[in-house]
Amino acid sequence: MNSTNLNNKEIEVIIAQYRPLVRRIANQVQRQSGNMHDFDDLEQIGILALFETLKTGADIGPQFPAYARMRVRGAMMDNLRKTSTISRSAIAKRRALLKCRNELEQQRFRSITSDEMAAEMNMDAASYHQMEWESQPADMSSIDDIYHEKNSDFVDDELDSFELLEKKQLQQILASLIGGLKPREAQILQLYFVDEYGLEEIGTIMGVGSARICQIKKAALNKLKNQLHEKIGNHY
């Protein structure tokens, strides 16, 4: 069914159904941008993108969840490209500050003062406050330049180059295997592991019971597991 045949009430029902997905994507995009962008703003951008997608025409079928996710995320990223003022150095400094603060709060079970932060980072008060200031938005920069999987600012420091290469190779193998699944199997794995839908939610989207969704998910995972073992055995 094409969404142009839907009335406003039916569109509102679909938007309410997909709001959890919009919120998950907004949360992911907010984290990727270094928490520099307002969650509510991102959510509204996603809702508007979903509304426009439905109004301009979309096939409401099994592939719609993946299409909706692409349109929602794309709208959020387009907005970040236009409004982002975060530099790479600001992201790196903000990341270091957040990591230090989180570790101290977990150790001491309370909020951490600026003096404690400075001491933990082996800095005097002036240098610490300078770093805080420099971690805020600065020059104009594309969000694609700031965040992507190859950006060294976001790479786990504990992984050496060999481990990163090995991880990338495994990801490529897994991606190729997922591409070989039946469309329904791939969609269920996407909704469950990436979009974080529950089994009942996926069942509602796909028009089958949660028990059936569980069976398909389990079968797809077993298929991937067996194929991955074969691939790894041949690859290494």
Task: Delimit the CATH 1.10.1740.10 region(s) of the chain.
Answer: 3-83
Range 88-136: architecture per CATH: Orthogonal Bundle (1.10)
Task: Delimit the CATH 1.10.10 region(s) of the chain.
Answer: 88-136
Domain 161-235: state its class.
Answer: mainly alpha
Cβ pair 212, 185 in contact under 8 A: no
Q: Please say whether the dihedral angle defined by the alpha carbons of residues 147, 145, 176 and 196, taken in this order, is positive or negative.
A: positive
Write down the pLDDT at residue 88: 61
Is CATH 1.10.1740.10 the classification given to domain 3-83? yes
Q: Give buried/exposed letters for 132-159 (b at 16+ CB in 10 A, else e).
A: eeebeeeeebebeebbeeeeebeeeeee
Q: Please say whether the dihedral angle defined by the alpha carbons of residues 35, 40, 44 and 47, taken in this order, is positive or negative.
A: positive
Task: Delimit the CATH 1.20.140.160 region(s) of the chain.
Answer: 161-235
CA distance 129 to 192: 42
pTM of the full structure: 0.40
Tens-digit pLDDT profile for the chain (236 aa)? 666 667 778 888 888 888 998 998 888 888 776 666 778 888 999 999 888 888 877 777 777 787 788 888 888 888 776 665 555 666 677 778 888 888 888 887 877 888 888 888 888 888 888 777 766 654 334 444 444 444 444 444 444 444 544 555 565 666 677 777 888 888 888 777 766 677 887 887 778 888 899 999 889 888 888 877 776 655 44
